[in-house]
């Protein structure tokens, strides 16, 4: 790289989450302060590389963003290797490579979820110096024990469940709350246990509605004043309704118990990150800059057994890290009598 300053490009892609700005700050400040590198931000994920839409990131730009939700760079769900509607020729990957060179980049940081890491792996195969930084509230990225965004989403969902207890008690109702997580049940499992859910339904454990309704009727027979049902959005359902609305309707129909649903939605992706997410995002970002300094490309930063490390990108793409039904937390929930919809 000669005497020219090493130049890093940073992009954030896919669904946003609290902690992305902490990661951008971690990469940027480490690169500038520790390694004397130059940093540019790429606007709105991979589309910023296709459009060559960038912004210079100096220490001033990185100041004050640690606690800020969302991403100062913006994001998009553009998949460059996927031809757009009506597009005969997909020239996006060539444009990305061309603009990577024209911008004089020595490394590209891709902060994102599964789709982003898959794209990052493909760009690495085409010779770009790429490093992946895993982020998502879903916590479903293969190769890392944890992603930032997850702790904040669990915190938000748990606080919502806490609030549902009081209104459920007042009205003697069954309260169903649907939380995010895509195909994984991590948010539902963790917020369900933290929030004292009586029933927790996750995509990874097939449920039997009869067993769910039997559990709720048993609680009613025991004069339990109310029940809380936590549902992961990705569960199987025989309806186009949202998972929460579907389960609430089935419970109401089968048991006659007064039932209401809450779809928590994008609140789980908003606002300031928890301290845990700020710390993890900072650790990931700083380590990613260190990897650039050591010219270790083609890998994703990861947390493994409490240690920050890296894993080759081609081991990550196309896989999901789902809840193992024999997971220790599921087991402890069963000890406490939590119904996962699969057994009496």
Known catalytic residues are 138
We find the least distance from the C-beta atom of residue 260 to ligand F6P, in angstroms, to be 22
215 versus 264: smaller Cβ distance to ligand F6P: 264
Closer CB to ligand F6P, 112 or 333, in the complex = 112
Among residues 10, 17, 63, the alpha carbon closest in space to that of 37 is found at: 10
Paired tokens of 218:
């048993």
**Measured distance CA(172)–CA(116) in Å, rounded:** 45
Instruction: Report the alpha-carbon distance of residue 287 to residue 292 in Å, rounded.
Output: 9
For ligand F6P, which is the closer residue by CB, 103 or 263? 263
Q: Look at residue 333 and give its three-state secondary structure.
A: helix
CB of 234 to ligand F6P, least distance (A): 7
Shortest approach of ligand F6P to residue 182 CB, angstroms?
A: 4
**DSSP state at residue 343:** -
The DSSP symbol for 273 reads P
13: nearest Cα among 59, 36, 44: 44
Overall size of the chain counted in residues: 344
**Min dist. Cβ of residue 223 to ligand F6P (A):** 37
Residues that bind ligand F6P (CB under 6 A): 15, 77, 113, 136-138, 180-182, 233, 269
Element containing residue 255 per DSSP (H, E) = helix 243-255
Min CB(75)–ligand F6P separation in Å: 9
CA distance to 7, 110, 119, per residue, from 39 (Å): 6, 13, 21
For the CB of residue 314, give the shortest distance to ligand F6P in the complex, in Å. 22
User: 82: burial class by Cβ within 10 Å (0-12, 13-18, 19+)?
Assistant: exposed
Count CB atoms within 10 A of the CB of residue 98: 14
On the 0-12 / 13-18 / 19+ scale of CB atoms within 10 A, 110 is buried
| Alpha-carbon span 145 to 142, nearest angstrom | 8
- HEC string of 182-247 equals CCCCHHHHHHHHHCCCCEEECCCCCCCHHHHHHHHHHHHHCCCCCEEEEEECCCCCCCCCCHHHHH
Other CB atoms within 10 Å distance of the CB of residue 169? 12
Nearest in space to 255 (alpha carbons), one of 233, 231, 286, 224: 224
Q: Enter the tokens of residue 150.
A: 């997850």
Least distance (Å) between residue 13 CB and ligand F6P: 11
């Amino acid at each position: 790289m000669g005497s020219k300053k090493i130049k890093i490009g940073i992009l954030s892609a896919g669904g946003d989450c609290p902690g992305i700005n902490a990661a951008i700050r971690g990469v940027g400040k480490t690169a500038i302060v520790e390694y004397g590198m130059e940093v540019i931000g790429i606007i709105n994920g991979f589309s910023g590389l296709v459009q060559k839409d960038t912004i210079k990131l100096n220490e001033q730009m990185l100041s004050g963003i640690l606690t800020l939700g969302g991403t100062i760079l913006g994001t998009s769900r553009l998949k460059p290797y996927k031809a757009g509607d009506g597009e005969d020729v997909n020239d996006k990957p060539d444009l990305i490579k061309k603009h990577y060179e024209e911008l004089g980049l020595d490394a590209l940081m891709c902060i994102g979820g599964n789709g982003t890491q898959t794209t990052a792996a493909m760009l690495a195969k085409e010779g770009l110096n790429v490093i992946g930084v895993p982020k998502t509230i879903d916590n479903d990225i293969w190769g890392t024990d944890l992603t930032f965004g997850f702790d904040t989403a669990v915190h938000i969902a748990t606080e919502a469940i806490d609030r549902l207890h009081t209104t459920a008690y007042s009205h003697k109702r069954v309260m169903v709350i649907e939380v995010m997580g895509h195909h994984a049940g991590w948010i539902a499992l963790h917020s369900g246990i933290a929030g004292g859910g009586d029933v927790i339904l996750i995509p990874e454990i097939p449920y039997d509605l009869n067993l769910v309704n039997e559990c709720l009727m048993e609680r009613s027979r025991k004069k339990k004043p109310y029940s809380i049902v936590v549902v992961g959005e990705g569960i199987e359902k025989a309806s186009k309704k949202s998972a929460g609305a579907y389960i609430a309707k089935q419970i109401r129909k089968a048991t006659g118990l007064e039932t209401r649903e809450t779809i928590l939605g994008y609140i789980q992706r908003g606002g300031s990150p928890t301290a845990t997410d700020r710390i993890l995002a900072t650790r990931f970002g700083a380590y990613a800059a260190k990897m650039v300094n050591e010219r270790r490309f083609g890998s994703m930063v990861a947390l493994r057994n409490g240690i920050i490390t890296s894993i080759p990108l081609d081991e990550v793409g196309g896989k999901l890290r789902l809840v193992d039904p024999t997971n220790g937390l599921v087991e402890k929930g069963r000890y406490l009598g939590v119904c996962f919809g699969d057994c009496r």
